[in-house]
Chain A
């Protein structure tokens, strides 16, 4: 069962094309959307939320989002990096407003989260730090117990301690009910290594990679070799390579195969960031 199914979603802007994006977000999974700034992550999220008009189909909870928008959004929690209800309100007012939007708004849960996050309920949001603002956005997004969380850059601009706290909240949210899912976009890929079940990599409006995170971290490898050694590796066995003065770095998606086939012993385990860089900057 998938909580999100998107098929051939396209959106054209001046100088940018989101090109027939298709992927699923299974229930119980955390899916990380990665890519450079301007690669299409936010456009994808806006298309899913029907904030922008795009071509293709988006289904949430197996229902077309364009036809069942209001109903679907009752079970959806959203965090946007640069937008919230109002910065001129206090968390107390947010509670008062939100209970009129969501049938399942849990006032007690919201107040508990405020306490847990150490957020004052009578201070104007505009006077909050970035970390406090993000915690409030997250508390607001999960206080109606949504089935699906969609988060656009929820950890950007935050220090590692706050980022870790936030990732813990997401883990706990999924553990509470395994039919829930999270789709989160981030350019801080280390966060996703720790938390995501799937990684979707968007580059220049296209999906270049959609794999389980474990597979990515276990099977992918970086071979460091000389020019001579590199010339022996078949083009079919690597994704891309980077040349430096003294050595070649080669990214493969099947390091055990490479080990056996070319008798190479030293293959490094790459980070998601390194894999991303190979896709963007590497030669083929």
Chain B
């Protein structure tokens, strides 16, 4: 049943294929000859990941949510499918960003050996995973808001939630400072360098899991 839902969303997204090619080409060209080479992978990753969320808008425009509930599929499967699609898009975006940046960088080095761009695989990997983490954070916040408020309203609500999170972070930082507690930046950096990528991946998994639980709780009682 999830396969059917996935197919429906992928067919809907098929109309995006031209846009996707244009984005990848645009980012590819933008990468050429810039110092900001690594940003290419992050940007591609985030855009591809975000596209998966537009399936909610397709559902809303077609008013298909009500119809889907008449099919032999559970609400749990409906929610799970959206996460499979979102995670799939995040992984695809990360891979695509990594490959395109690597290719463009090396091709340019071959064509323009005088203006050599240093393509460091490790840094590229970090920026790609960083992009994937960014999009997983956005998706984890946005998917429950869309389930709660719908695709259009959910987007506005998401910015409010992000704004509130930033404020909370700022207040927490301020209070820590006031309390005389300081964070050992060096220690934090060394932890990040050693375990950063693994930690980011684990954190993404945790965010998706919590987000899925919240979404299911919302959708379980939602009436279309």
Which residues of A pack against B, CB within 8 Å?
Answer: 46, 49-53, 69-71, 73-74, 76, 78, 80, 82-89, 93, 96-102, 150
Q: Is the CB of A101 within 8 A of B67?
A: no
Residues in chain B near residue A70, CB distance under 8 A: 1, 72-74
Given known A-B contacts A52-B223, A88-B15, A97 and B8 have beta carbons under 8 A apart: yes
Which residues of the partner chain A approach B1 to less than 8 Å between Cβ atoms?
70, 100-101
A80 in contact with B66 given A52-B223, A85-B8 (CB within 8 Å): yes
Tell whether, in the assembled complex, residue A86 and residue B64 are in contact, meaning their CB atoms are under 8 Å apart: yes
Complex contact A87–B70 (CB within 8 A): no
A69 and B74 contacting across the interface, CB-CB below 8 Å: yes
Which residues of the other chain, A, contact B59 by a CB distance below 8 angstroms?
Answer: 86
Interface residues of B in 1-48 (CB under 8 A from A): 1, 3-4, 7-8, 11-12, 15
Q: Does B161 contact A (CB under 8 A)?
A: no
Whether the pair B67, A85 counts as a contact (CB closer than 8 A) is yes
**How distant is the Cα of A82 from the Cα of B62 in the complex, in angstroms?**
9
Given contact pairs A84-B67, A88-B11, A101-B1, enumerate 20 new A-B contacts (beta carbons under 8 Å). A51-B224, A52-B223, A69-B74, A70-B72, A70-B74, A71-B72, A76-B70, A78-B67, A82-B66, A83-B64, A84-B64, A85-B67, A86-B11, A86-B59, A86-B62, A88-B12, A88-B15, A98-B4, A99-B4, A100-B3
Asked, given contacts A101-B1, A101-B4, whether A73 binds B63 with beta carbons under 8 Å apart, the answer is: no
Is B8 within 8 A of A86, CB to CB? yes
Determine if B62 and A53 form an interchain contact, defined as CB atoms under 8 angstroms apart: no
Number of contacts between A and B (CB, 8 Å)? 89
What bracket does the count of chain B residues touching chain A fall in?
20 to 34
Q: Are A53 and B223 in contact (CB under 8 A)?
A: yes
Identify B72's interface contact among A46, A87, A99, A102, CB under 8 A. A102
B contacts, CB < 8 Å to A: 1, 3-4, 7-8, 11-12, 15, 58-59, 61-74, 221, 223-224
Rounded to whole angstroms, the CA-CA distance of A53 and B58 in the bound complex is 25
CB closest residue in chain A, given B221: A53
The answer to whether residues A49 and B69 also contact, given A83-B63, A86-B64 and a CB cut-off of 8 A, is yes
Say whether A83 contacts B7, CB under 8 Å. Answer: no
A46 to B67 CA separation, bound complex (whole angstroms):
10
Show 20 residue pairs from A and B whose CB-CB distance is below 8 angstroms, ordered by the A residue: A51-B224, A52-B223, A52-B224, A69-B74, A71-B72, A73-B72, A76-B70, A78-B70, A83-B64, A85-B8, A85-B68, A86-B8, A86-B11, A86-B59, A93-B7, A93-B11, A97-B11, A99-B4, A100-B1, A101-B1
Q: Across the two chains, which residue of chain B brings its CB closest to A137? A: B67
Q: If the complex has contacts A52-B224, A70-B73, are A88 and B63 also in contact, measured as CB distance less than 8 A? A: no
A238 to B224, CA, bound (A): 41
- Which residues of B are found within 8 Å of A101, using beta-carbon distances? 1, 4, 71-73
Residue of A whose beta carbon sits closest to that of B59: A86
Most buried by A among B61, B69, B70: B70
For the complex, what is the distance from the CA of A101 to the CA of B81, rounded to whole Å? Answer: 14
Cα distance, A99 to B62, chains bound together (Å): 20
Q: Select which of A84, A86, A93, A96 is within 8 A of B58 by beta carbon.
A: A86
Chain A residues with CB under 8 A of B221: 53
Which chain B residues border A49 with CB–CB below 8 Å?
A: 69-70
Chain A residues lying within 8 Å of B68, measured Cβ to Cβ, are 85
Q: Which 4 A-B pairs have the closest CB atoms?
A: A100-B4, A78-B70, A73-B72, A83-B66
Picked from A73, A74, A85, A102, the residue with its CB within 8 Å of the CB of B62 is A85
Query: Bound complex: CA of A89 vs CA of B14, how far in Å?
Result: 10
